Structure 1
Amino acid sequence: MLERELIQNRGFRNVADGGEITGFQFLLRMPNYRGLWGSLIDGVSVDVGDLHWDPDVPLWTLQGRRFTLAELRRSTDVRWQLDELATITVPHPGGLAPGVHELRVAIALHAPYIPAEFQPSVFPAERKVTIVA
């Protein structure tokens, strides 16, 4: 079940590759009132405390497939459905320390029916989240 908040309470965790912590993940709900093609996603900027990642850095997992932002922009068969959570993976060697963190995001999306001069639509959100050791 999706939570009302864009940043979901569950799913915030450090991730490992080959036994080494390489970053962290969290889950986002689609902020628009309907689904959107992957090629219309313009990224998500991420802030945790004093740390910042530009919109092209995080990796997106949609429909069980992981994408860079460039790959999403070139895609023709990926859709972020209204009832699907996107898993956002942020590369950060060593991950985040256990404890409570203030997570802030700004999701940028394009809508094909809105004039280009008003694009992208940006959906900000923030939430306190916890890394458990």
Structure 2
Amino acid sequence: MMDNKMIIEGSLENVDGGFAFQGRLPYYRGLGLSMVEDIEVSVDGEPVAREAIRFSVRGKTYTLDEMETVYDDRWNFGEKATIIVLKDGGLKPGSYRIGFGTRLRISYLPMVPTTRDTKELALAA
């Protein structure tokens, strides 16, 4: 798995309703969105509530609950998805330790792999 390549450096930004960063699928093949069992985000070690996380790819945005039943969309290998965190006012300019984890359902694996990456990302003023 490619855990050290999950978070795209330099991608942290404030967006309408919160902040976002880009991430890659830590798997050598694409997966249907329903096979992404969970996404975890933390900021400076503080976990973000699942309900505050959104996943966006190719112009479509989903809650994590919605992704459980999305059978007609994929997260392709190497594709940059936008991970959005709902937070009033977003983040103040500065440096943040962003954690990003995924739990994937892969049919031929006897366990559910959870892969994590953490990077220091800066948010410009």
Task: State whether TM-score is above 0.5.
Answer: yes
Deviations 1:65-90 (A, max 9, x none): 00011111111111000031110000
> Runs of 5+ in structure 1 lacking a partner?
17-21
**Unaligned residue ranges in structure 2 (runs of 5+):** none
- Runs of 4+ in structure 1 off by over 2 angstroms are 54-57
Partners of 1:61 and 1:87 within 8 A in 2:
yes
Partners of 1:44 and 1:107 within 8 A in 2:
yes
Structure 2 counterpart of 1:91, which letter?
L
Residues 79-131 of structure 1 deviation map (CA, whole Å, 9 limit, x = unaligned): 0000311100001111111011111121111101223xx22x11110000011
RMSD across aligned positions (CA)? 1.5
- Which structure has the higher relative contact order (CA within 8 Å, separation 6+)? 2
Q: Return the match for 2:98 from 74, 95, 103.
A: 103
Identity of aligned residues (%): 30
Contact 2:8–2:21 (8 Å) recurs in 1: yes
- 8 Å CA contact 1:44–1:54 kept in 2: the answer is no
CA apart distance, 1:5:
1.9
Code of the residue aligned with 1:124 in structure 2: it is R
